[in-house]
Amino acid sequence: MNHEELDQVYTSMAQALTRVGESRAPLFLSILGLSLLSRLPSAQEAKALLDQAEAASLEDNAVANYSACAPTAPSSARPT
């Protein structure tokens, strides 16, 4: 995913959070997070991301740490 696509996804997420409302935002983010973590190849990788997110969240100037332009392995599955 490139930076423009990531921005589009971020905007969609922000809009979804607005639709579900502040009181349900933690539930929405938990469901989304677990869904995304379940797609990782190992629990070790998921735990590393959780640790990274926790550490970033505890910083005064918290920011997401992602690599939007990281190369991905080619997938044999075709999108449907």
Q: How many separate domains does the chain show? A: 1
pLDDT at 56: 87
Residue 73 domain flag: no
Do 65 and 52 contact (CB within 8 A), yes or no?
Answer: yes
Q: Residue with structure tokens 């929405």?
A: 28
For 9-56, how does the pLDDT look when each residue is reduced to its tens digit (9 = 90+)?
999 999 999 999 999 999 999 999 999 999 999 999 999 999 988 988
pLDDT at 67: 58
pLDDT at 63: 74
Residue 44 domain flag: yes
Question: pTM score > 0.75 for this model?
Answer: no
Residue 76 domain flag: no
**CA dist., res. 80 & res. 63, Å (int):** 33
Can you give the residue range of the structural domain that contains 41?
Answer: 3-52
Residue 74 domain flag: no
Residue 28 domain flag: yes
pLDDT at 32: 97
Q: Residue with structure tokens 């392995």?
A: 73
